[in-house]
Amino acid sequence: MKVANPKLTLCAFHLRNNLAQGEDEPVNNANHLWEECQRIGQKLHVPRLESLIERLQESNGQIGVSSNQDNSRYLELLQPENTLKFSAIPEGSKLQLRGEVYPLQIHDTYAVDITLRYPYPNVDVNQLEGLNPQGCLLPSQIKASLGQTLVFFAHPEGQIQDIQEFANDCLAAILPKSEVEQFLRSPPTQGIFLGSPIFEYENNREHPTEHCHILIWLNCHPETATLEAAGDYYQSLINLLCCRHKILYAYSESRWCNQKARLLYRKLEVKAKAFRQLPSEPTPKLKQLKEWLTEIPTLAFEYANYMRDMEFHRTTIETNIINYKFWLKQLQDIGIQNRDNLDFLEQLIKDTQDNFIPQISTDLFYLMPSQQLFGQMIEASRGIVETEQAERDRALQDTVAIVGVGLATSAVGATVAPYIIPTEPRQPILPPFSTNHLHPLTQSLLLSLIFGVTGAVITKGYTSVMQNRGAIAGCMKKLIQGDSNKTAKLSGNTQQTLPQSKKQNQ
CA 98/CA 395 separation, integer angstroms: 88
CA 110/CA 34 separation, integer angstroms: 9
- Does any domain span residue 462? no
Please state the rounded mean pLDDT for residues 452-480. Answer: 61
- Does any domain span residue 383? yes
* 291, 340: one domain: yes
Please state the rounded mean pLDDT for residues 344-350. Answer: 95
* 147, 277: one domain: no
Query: Is 425 within 8 Å of 439 (Cβ atoms)?
Result: no
pLDDT by residue (tens digit) across 372-391?
666 666 566 565 555 555 55
- Does any domain span residue 182? yes
pLDDT by residue (tens digit) across 69-115?
777 789 999 988 899 999 988 776 778 899 999 999 999 999 999 99
pLDDT by residue (tens digit) across 390-424?
555 555 565 666 566 556 666 665 666 565 666 55
Kindly list the distances between the CA atom of residue 313 and the CA atoms of 26, 86, 254, 413, 416, in Å, as whole numbers in the listed order: 19, 39, 6, 79, 84
195 phi-psi bin (left φ>0, alpha ψ -120 to 50, beta other): left
Q: What's the one-letter identity of residue 333?
A: D
Query: What backbone phi and psi angles, to 5 degrees, belong to 387?
Result: -65, -50
| Domain end marker among 196, 230, 264 | 230
Q: How many CB atoms lie within 10 A of CB 95?
A: 15
Model confidence at 506, pLDDT cuts 50, 70, 90, reads: very low
Model confidence at 438, pLDDT cuts 50, 70, 90, reads: low
- Does any domain span residue 240? no
Average confidence score pLDDT of the chain: 80
* 119, 260: one domain: no
* 99, 215: one domain: yes
pLDDT by residue (tens digit) across 15-28?
998 876 666 678 88
- Does any domain span residue 66? yes
CA 209/CA 203 separation, integer angstroms: 12
Model confidence at 304, pLDDT cuts 50, 70, 90, reads: confident
* 218, 257: one domain: no
Domain count, the chain: 2
pTM, two decimal places? 0.76
What's residue 498's pLDDT? 40
Domain housing 337: 248-391
Whether 504 shows a pLDDT value over 60: the answer reads: no
Please state the rounded mean pLDDT for residues 294-302. Answer: 76
* 50, 103: one domain: yes
If DSSP states are collapsed to H, E and C, what string results for 362-407? HHHHHHHHHHHHHHHHHHHHHHHHHHHHHHHHHHHHHHHHHHHHHH
Query: Is 2 within 8 Å of 125 (Cβ atoms)?
Result: yes
Query: Is 427 within 8 Å of 437 (Cβ atoms)?
Result: no
- Does any domain span residue 447? no
What percent of the chain has a predicted confidence (pLDDT) above 90?
Answer: 44
Please state the rounded mean pLDDT for residues 140-151. Answer: 94
* 196, 294: one domain: no
What's residue 277's pLDDT? 66
